[in-house]
Structure 1
Amino acid sequence: MSADSATVLGIDIGGTKMAAALVAADGTILTEDRILTPPGDADQVFGALAELVERVVGATTPIAVGIGSAGPLDLTHGLVSPVNITGWRNFPLVDRVRALVGDVPVELGVDGHCFALGESWTGAGRAVDTLLGIVVSTGVGAGIVVDGKPMLGQSGNAAHLGHMVVDLDGEACACGSYGCVETYASGPRMVARAKRRGWRPGEQVDAAVLSADAAAGDEIALAIFDDGAQALAAGIVATAVTVDLTTVVIGGGVAKAGPVLFDPVSRWVKRLAQLPFVTDLTVEPAQLANAGLLGAARLAWATT
């Protein structure tokens, strides 16, 4: 295979969906597919991922694989324990994927890191040196990119902003703590909190319906989004004053709410960011629909 025709396989795994794509060296996606993340035990979840990968790869042999997975992760041993995929606890994802695609380099990263890396590579962060990327969906993931490389930390799990505690008297979180950003800002938790306040009783609804109601002026929906925005802003500002950055990009399913989310986030960020070096902190929407995939592919290309 010539250098021009070489491709890598990018895989993006979250609590709601799993996606895979073949990606060229310039970030062009050649083949892409996605499925809903199924319930079930470890092998049932991986079986669905294996079918997805086989469809995407076909007769192609990728030269490397990059995987972005919800965390926490054990990068040393290639294990994943996603908070929102209960079937995987210390699941040997790297070994299982390598057995599926062949003996090629397989690089694992936190899905939030991959999202930030994708936006840094070809999206909203390509003009800045330091970027905080946040995915607001089933959970809240995040990643920091500095000079084109993800900030990993000693275990590879840095920037777990969704599990930053912002309310000492807050609700229990799936991670085992309480008052985390995710308990206020993730789609399912916002819907659950709205339901408890009397929003759309007896209906099967999701965050998209909640955001539509907020856009239409529903008081409960607006209050829930404001609470979520305040929690996100607290996490953003705490990260910014720690790392010294000024650019934040938010994507994920909940971010599709648009101004319903971004307006209160920007308002709360302005209120909370008072130190001089973060007063210019900006928050903007992601430009890419598949930043996590592209970031995973970027990890793979870095191994070649």
Structure 2
Amino acid sequence: MHTDFVAALDIGGTKIAGALVDGHGQIVVRAQRATPAQDDGETVMGAVEEVLGELTAAPEWGRATALGIGSAGPVDATAGTVSPVNVPGWRDFPLVRRVQEAAGGLPVELIGDGVAITAAEHWQGAARGHDNALCMVVSTGVGGGLVLNGQLHPGPTGNAGHIGHISVDLDGDLCPCGSRGCVERIASGPNIARRALENGWQPGPDGDTSAAAVAAAARNGDPVAVASFDRAARALAAGIAATATLVEIDIAVIGGGVGKAGDVLFTPLRKALGDYATLSFVQRLEVTPAQMGTDAGLVGAAAAALARRTDAATV
């Protein structure tokens, strides 16, 4: 087995992580900076360049053959640009060109962060061995990605599988994206917490009003907290069922902070799925927690770069 590496960047509103990853998905070198998310675009790019500087200084860099970027979106892989909602300084920012310049001209593959996590779960995690899968990240937002016919399916711009913005409530709340009743508007962590508070849930003495605190209250039987998670579970079930009906996935993998809520989320989710995934070809749909943890974005960006390299070699 050759010991080539692929470089990976995982860019979000909180942190910019970089790594060199081997052909088995193992991280051999890593670097990280906080994202200066409220600063101008060049300052954010400076943090990316610092991460790349650490990677290029590693002796293993000489064996890196490609670089994958998983970025908060929306991204546009055809234009090589990113406009992350949570990094206002980047609007149509030419990230691919700038990274290529900083990385000595390596081929660069750009995908959305939900697609990156999907690539990781399919390569090394809970969707391994499944040819048709949906992977979701349920945290501050709700993102996702698809594997179809055994291949990552990023779509032309790198955003395919963005389940957070499927509408599951036609007359529902206005979503910041401009649509109504989106999965994200109901099932993201902040929206679970918002609904619990609006309906009279009282946080404990520590004043913690996060979705994790609502999950803890639900575990202890608080009826308002339970109801908020049930509503989120129904929104997720409707979105998952719609996706499965459309493209025939057989597994849905759920990660992110809300995905860590355990039975508080998965028990009502599996029950609600029975109400929405009713046709014969979607009834055996499995729902399972993600396995890849905090390195999923890096491992997935590496997987996408590897897949592109393999495709290029077979052309």
**TM-score normalised by structure 2 residue count:** 0.88
Contact 2:140 2:190 in 1 (8 A): yes
CA RMSD of aligned residues (A): 2.1
> Aligned pair in 2 of structure 1 residues 138, 36: CA closer, same or farther (>3 Å)?
farther
Please state if 1:261 is matched with 2:271: no
Deviation at 1:279, TM superposition (A): 0.6
Q: Distance in 2 between matches of 1:236 and 1:45?
A: 34
Which consecutive residues of structure 1, in runs of 5 or more, have no partner in the other structure?
Answer: none
Q: Distance in 1 between matches of 2:208 and 2:94?
A: 35
Instruction: Indicate the residue corresponding to 2:148 in structure 1.
Output: 146
Moved more, 232-241 or 17-26: 17-26
Q: Distance in 2 between matches of 1:286 and 1:35?
A: 25
Please state if 1:96 is matched with 2:104: no
Q: Distance in 1 between matches of 2:219 and 2:33?
A: 29
What SS does structure 2 have at the residue aligned with 1:90? coil
> Aligned pair in 2 of structure 1 residues 55, 189: CA closer, same or farther (>3 Å)?
farther
What SS does structure 1 have at the residue aligned with 2:252? strand
Q: Distance in 1 between matches of 2:36 and 2:99?
A: 17
Residues 40-97 of structure 1 show CA distances to partners (whole Å, capped at 9, x for unaligned) of: 1323333333333434553242321101122222111111122333332211111222
Q: Distance in 2 between matches of 1:54 and 1:211?
A: 40
Q: Give the counterpart letter for 1:214 in structure 2.
A: A
Instruction: Indicate the residue corresponding to 2:307 in structure 1.
Output: 302
Instruction: Indicate the residue corresponding to 2:250 in structure 1.
Output: 246
Q: Distance in 2 between matches of 1:176 and 1:96?
A: 31
Please state if 1:50 is matched with 2:49: yes
Q: Distance in 2 between matches of 1:212 and 1:260?
A: 9
Residues 253-277 of structure 1 show CA distances to partners (whole Å, capped at 9, x for unaligned) of: 2111111111111111112111000
Instruction: Indicate the residue corresponding to 1:120 in structure 2.
Output: 122
Instruction: Indicate the residue corresponding to 2:199 in structure 1.
Output: 197
Q: Distance in 2 between matches of 1:96 and 1:177?
A: 33
Moved more, 284-293 or 13-22: 13-22
What SS does structure 2 have at the residue aligned with 1:229? helix
Q: Distance in 2 between matches of 1:42 and 1:82?
A: 11
Instruction: Indicate the residue corresponding to 2:292 in structure 1.
Output: 288
Q: Distance in 2 between matches of 1:246 and 1:172?
A: 31
Contact 2:115 2:158 in 1 (8 A): no
Q: Distance in 2 between matches of 1:20 and 1:211?
A: 32
Contact 1:170 1:179 in 2 (8 A): yes
> Aligned pair in 2 of structure 1 residues 207, 57: CA closer, same or farther (>3 Å)?
farther
Residues 200-245 of structure 1 show CA distances to partners (whole Å, capped at 9, x for unaligned) of: 4693532222222222222222111111111111110000000011
What SS does structure 2 have at the residue aligned with 1:199? coil
Q: Distance in 2 between matches of 1:33 and 1:264?
A: 39
Q: Give the counterpart letter for 1:32 in structure 2.
A: R
Q: Distance in 2 between matches of 1:22 and 1:123?
A: 19
Q: Distance in 2 between matches of 1:23 and 1:287?
A: 18
Deviation at 1:9, TM superposition (A): 1.3
Q: Distance in 2 between matches of 1:269 and 1:284?
A: 13
> Aligned pair in 2 of structure 1 residues 17, 182: CA closer, same or farther (>3 Å)?
farther
Q: Distance in 2 between matches of 1:68 and 1:125?
A: 18
Residues 151-206 of structure 1 show CA distances to partners (whole Å, capped at 9, x for unaligned) of: 23344322111011111222222222221100111112222222222334693532
Q: Distance in 2 between matches of 1:281 and 1:170?
A: 27
Which consecutive residues of structure 2, in runs of 5 or more, have no partner in the other structure?
Answer: 310-315
Contact 2:110 2:158 in 1 (8 A): no
- Taking every aligned residue pair, what percent have the same amino acid on both sides? 50
Moved more, 30-39 or 15-24: 30-39
Contact 1:27 1:294 in 2 (8 A): yes
Q: Distance in 2 between matches of 1:200 and 1:246?
A: 39
Instruction: Indicate the residue corresponding to 1:79 in structure 2.
Output: 81
> Aligned pair in 2 of structure 1 residues 183, 249: CA closer, same or farther (>3 Å)?
same
Number of equivalences: 302
Q: Give the counterpart letter for 1:71 in structure 2.
A: G
> Aligned pair in 2 of structure 1 residues 234, 35: CA closer, same or farther (>3 Å)?
farther
Contact 1:79 1:92 in 2 (8 A): yes
> Aligned pair in 2 of structure 1 residues 56, 186: CA closer, same or farther (>3 Å)?
farther
